Structures are given as structure tokens and as C-alpha cells.
Amino acid sequence: MCGIIGYIGHRNVEEVLLKGLQTLEYRGYDSAGVVLLDSNGTAQVQKCVGKVQNLIVQCKKAPVNDALCGMGHTRWATHGGVTNLNAHPHQSGKVTLIHNGIIENYQELANEYHLADQVISETDTEVVAALLNRFYEGDPVKTIRTVASKLKGTYAFGIIFSDIKDKLFAIRHVSPIIAGVGKDKKEAFLSSDVTALSEYVADYFVIPEDVVTILEAGKITLLDACDQEVFVNHLTIDWETGAIGKNGYEFYMEKEIMEQPQVIVNTVMPRCKDGLPDLSVDHIPDDIWTKYEKITIIACGTAMHAGLVAKNLMQSLLRLPVTVEIASEYIYSDPVIDDTTLVIAISQSGETIDTLEAVRYARKHGADNLSIVNVKGSTIARESQFVLYTNAGPEIAVASTKAYITQLVSLYILICQMAYMRGIFLKEKAMQFMSSLLALPGQIEQVLADRASVHALTKDMIGAKDLFMIGRGLDYTALLEGSLKLKEISYIHSEAYASGELKHGTIALITPETPVITLITQKKLASKELSNAIEVKARGAKVVMLTTKAIPLEDPSQWEHIYYLPALPSEFMIFPAVVALQLIAFYVSKEKGLDVDKPRNLAKVVTVE
């Protein structure tokens, strides 16, 4: 969703902002803009719809080389369509404003303060710019506080007052924003995202809510409502700048798929001691593993699919009742929350607003909560009782791959720890389970090395309008994820279906034009999955089968497209299977000539409900 970058210092401001916006592109956006405050006190705005590249071309026509500070923004439209006029920054008199979030009462404010004739766009943001200008009489901090007190909704604002050339201002409510002083202590940065800062700062902090933030070259001051300075904890950047590049790959998604063996190692190794699970690195108290009678998992999209895998295993291995809740539904479903339930939230970004609200709701109603998060210091991480960080590193492609795999391995470690502490796994079994996790990188490498064969399976999928993925049990959960990957980046309507359910209606959609992927890796379900695959084949569907040599097939030659995954214990088959499905989605999207990393309408970080 929207991205923010702000800079004050000795570098070429325009260059820093445009480069920062390119780094933020992965979040998803539809227009971009910058404001540059020059030495005459003129705040020059450039903005346009489409890619940051369009903005770069536009800026080159009228470069501002003497800017003292500036801000950039990528917009993901909420209020008002995708137009140049609606793009940020917005200006009103001496005020220039960029905004992430949604102001709910902007129309009321526009009416109350008679701002209609000063607002030309359809945005909530421009109303706030006009309001700031209305109240501004030379004291920026007072003005920001006054206006913020009138707003309902969520916001992270970057603000320039054109008569103040040596300062940038910021304030936030709910929507996250971070800031940091440059390594040389002579510059300061503001951003919605640590990826845009990693080149320049050694550490950064999350701006606390409702605190006015003043950025000067080499200094950042935070002031509370009583004008007292606020001091906050700083977070160190532990991601290499290089980790944010494409490393020679054409697409981030490809690079991130290929990184999966390594990120599994990075996530499992710190949590394995003497062959057993060991979560001391996460400072989670031991009683959490034995205390609860029920588990609720809350998450969205891919992260929710990781939760479904955990549900399957927690039920079968731990005999614990588990519910998986779509986070956006959770708080509206009157969930039953009590102190016998552990709420586990899963989120790559740690900023997904639905998941955050669900965590807040659960905690407010007395639940204990553990979150599995990738981005360090993110809002969900900060607001959770306990956090387990997946060590996936920065994930830039909109379609999640390596973060998902680390969510899975984290959940597997939790399951092993719970089983061991509850006496369900004896030491030897727990060690065997952990060693199966540690063997995964090598087994996934095999699928990656053989990716040309996976590519060959996609021949009939490129031109398809609809596609089905069928399987049962853990295979079905893997297909839900594979199907989401395919639809989001290839725009093919794809449905993952529990294969036993097909003949209760949906099989009517199967025709020779409907490719079907069947995943058959679970020994106890294989014969039934196979029968279901035969049923769709009999209706003319072109079937691609993903299976393993450990599953006996009566007549393999009847399957034209068959791919053998490495044979692992049933509960671990999901790992190579999902990697193959990620590759299928990737190749279909690439063959169709689509923007693999930035699919239409999607944002990497979903900060609106």
C-alpha cells in the first residue's frame, strides 16, 4: 500500500527520494509524487499516475538540484480514483502533505471549516492539508497537534511548511512510519518501510503514535502533547543492503523462491539445540507449550494458509482443537475467547491491519497471544505478547513465497516443542522431527534444480481461463496456497478444491478446457485422491499430477503430465509440493508476459481494512 520517504541532509534530495520510491514500489501503488523544498522556500511538487519511472522521467525535465529537504509518496488509491490530481503530495498554502491511511471524517471537516473551495482533488488527504494551512500561524508543532486532535481514522503524515526550510515534520496514528538519522549523523530519513532506509542508517525507530516528530539534518526530536521530549528504543538493521537487490534474477519472486533453502536454515538453526526444539532465542516462557487446551490462528491470505497446515498437524499430532480464522472476519464473529485458548497470529509484514486489529481484540478480551512475524519491530510484533520472528529477510515480490515457507517451519518447530513438552513426542521422535526439518533445504534444492521439468508442466495452463487444483488433507492446504499464487500473479481463475467435494456440484465445471492439478502425497489419502483425479480425467480435463515415488500408481502411463516430488514423510511433503506450485505460478505469469512481482490491484502491505 502507500509508501512514504522523507529526507533532509547533504545528498541530492531528489535522487534520494526517487531511489527510495523505487525501493518502495513493491508495496503496491498506482501513482507517485515528490515535493522538493528549494533554497528560496518554494515547495515544488511533481506527481503522476503509473510507475515511479514515469515520475523520474517527469522530474528529469525540471530537476531541482538545490533542494534542502523533500518527501516522496507512492499512492494506492482509496478515496478518489487513480489520477494525477489525487496523487500525493497535496498542497495548501504553505503546507505540503503526504499521507498513508484513511481519514474517516474528512467530509465533516471540509464542511465544518468551509474548505470545499480550497480542495480540488477527491482525496481525504487534501482536506487535511487545507486544515493544516487554515490553522498555521508560524507554529508547526501547535498546528499539527490541533489538526490531529480533530481527525478520526488512521494516518502517517509527512509534512513540509515552506517557510521552514530546515525541518520536516511527521505524526502518525495507527499507520506505521519509521525514522532514522544517517550513519554520518548529518542527515535524517522518514519512511514507511525499513527497506528504503537500509542503505543509509544503522538503526531506526518506529515513531510512537500521536507524537510530533521533527526531522533536521542529523537530528530527530519527538514531542509529546506536553512538549516533553520522548525517547524511544532503536532497532538495528540486520538485513544486508544486498538482500534487497535481485541478485541477478529477472524477478524478485524467482529470487525469493530460490532463497527458500537458505531461509529455512536461518529460521530453524537458531531454534534447534542438541537436536531438539529450543525457543530460548524467542524468550517465550515454557508454560506456553503445555498450558492451553485450544488454539486459534488468525491471519490473512498466504499466512492464513500456513495456519491451515498447522491446524491439520496440531489436531493430528497434538490432539488439540484448532480454529483458523480469517483475520478480517475474526472480530466481527463474536469469537469465544477464554484463558484456555492461545491465539497465534501470523503475518509477514507485521502491519496487516486486519490481523493487527484481531490481535488487539483477542488481547483486550483476555487471550494470550503469540505472533509469528517476519518484519522486526513491526506493529504486530510490538503489540503481541510473544513473538517468534521468521528469518526470511526482506520479501519484496507481492506474492509471498519465502515468508510462507518460514511461517511453516516456525509452526512445525512450535508443534514439535508442544509435542515434546506434553510428552506426546519422546526425545527420539522430537529429534527425528527436527532432523526432518533440517533436511528440507536439501530436498527443496532438488525441486529447484529440476525447475525446468516443473516449467514444462505449465504448457496447457498459459491459455487457460479457469483451472482447478484438487487434493485432500494436507495436500488440499498446499493447493489453497498454490492456487492463490497462480491467481494473483497469472490472473487465471484458479480454485483449490477438496477433491472429495468436487462431485457435489463443482465437477460440472470440468471440461477439456479446464486444466486440473492434482497433488497426491499423503499415503493415507492417496487412493481416494487418485480416484478423484481419475474422475476429472474421465470428464476430459488435462491433468497434471504432482506426487512421489512412495505412492503406488497402478498405471503411471495413463498420466501424461506427472512430476515426482522428493519422497519425504507425509507431514513434510507440503514443503516440496508448495515450492513446485510456486514455480508453476511463476512460470505461467512469466510466460504470459505479466509483471510477476507487482500484480495488478495488489499491495504487499495491506494497511487498510
Residues near ligand F6R, by CB under 6 A = 300-303, 347-349, 352, 355, 399-400, 484, 488, 606
Closest CA to 405 of 483, 299, 481: 481
Which of 484, 583 has the CB closer to ligand F6R?
484
> Residue 53 in contact with residue 14, Cβ under 8 Å?
no
Q: How far is the CB of 424 from ligand F6R (least distance, A)?
A: 29
Which of 477, 514 has the CB closer to ligand F6R?
477
Query: Which residues in 16-30 are b (16+ Cβ under 10 Å) and which e?
Result: bbbbbbbbbbbbbbb
Q: How far is the CB of 609 from ligand F6R (least distance, A)?
A: 12
Q: How far is the CB of 403 from ligand F6R (least distance, A)?
A: 7
Closest CA to 588 of 253, 301, 348: 253
Q: How far is the CB of 304 from ligand F6R (least distance, A)?
A: 7
Which of 266, 349 has the CB closer to ligand F6R?
349
State the residue for C-alpha cell 513473538: 387
What single-letter amino acid sits at 327? A
Which of 92, 100 has the CB closer to ligand F6R?
100
Three-state SS for 120-149 is CCCCHHHHHHHHHHHHCCCCHHHHHHHHHC
Instruction: Spot the catalytic one: 2, 59, 69, 300.
Output: 2
Q: How far apart are CA 78 and CA 67, in angstroms?
A: 30
Residue 456 CB neighbours (<10 A): 11
Task: Name residue 546's beta-bridge partners.
Answer: 519, 563
Residue 287 CB neighbours (<10 A): 9
Burial of 333 (0-12, 13-18, 19+ CB in 10 A): exposed
State the alpha helices, DSSP H only, in 463-503.
473-490
Q: How distant, in Å, are the alpha carbons of 185, 224, 300, 459 from that of 191?
A: 17, 20, 24, 42
Which of 126, 488 has the CB closer to ligand F6R?
488
Q: How far is the CB of 345 from ligand F6R (least distance, A)?
A: 9
Q: How far apart are CA 270 and CA 281, in angstroms?
A: 7
Instruction: Spot the catalytic one: 47, 311, 537, 604.
Output: 604
Count of all residues that appear for the chain in the document:
609
Which of 140, 350 has the CB closer to ligand F6R?
350
State the residue for C-alpha cell 506426546: 424
Which of 210, 383 has the CB closer to ligand F6R?
383
Does the CA dihedral 325-326-331-334 come out positive or negative? Answer: negative
Burial of 319 (0-12, 13-18, 19+ CB in 10 A): exposed
Q: How far is the CB of 157 from ligand F6R (least distance, A)?
A: 23
Q: Is 181 left (phi over 0), alpha (psi -120 to 50) or beta?
A: beta
Q: How far apart are CA 6 and CA 164, in angstroms?
A: 15
Q: How far is the CB of 299 from ligand F6R (least distance, A)?
A: 6
Which of 30, 488 has the CB closer to ligand F6R?
488
Q: How far apart are CA 318 and CA 292, in angstroms?
A: 11
Q: How far is the CB of 312 from ligand F6R (least distance, A)?
A: 18
> Residue 483 in contact with residue 494, Cβ under 8 Å?
yes
442 membership: H or E segment, kind and range: helix 427-449
Q: How far is the CB of 301 from ligand F6R (least distance, A)?
A: 2
Which of 313, 398 has the CB closer to ligand F6R?
398
Q: How far apart are CA 501 and CA 486, in angstroms?
A: 21
Q: How far is the CB of 183 from ligand F6R (least distance, A)?
A: 29
Residue 96 CB neighbours (<10 A): 27
Closest residue to ligand F6R using C-beta atoms: 301
Closest CA to 92 of 68, 116, 64, 71: 116
Q: How far is the CB of 260 from ligand F6R (least distance, A)?
A: 14
370 membership: H or E segment, kind and range: strand 368-373
Task: Name residue 342's beta-bridge partners.
Answer: 295, 368
Which of 49, 356 has the CB closer to ligand F6R?
356
Active site residue 59: no
Which of 347, 391 has the CB closer to ligand F6R?
347
State the residue for C-alpha cell 512412495: 550
Closest CA to 179 of 354, 377, 398: 377
Catalytic residues: 2, 604
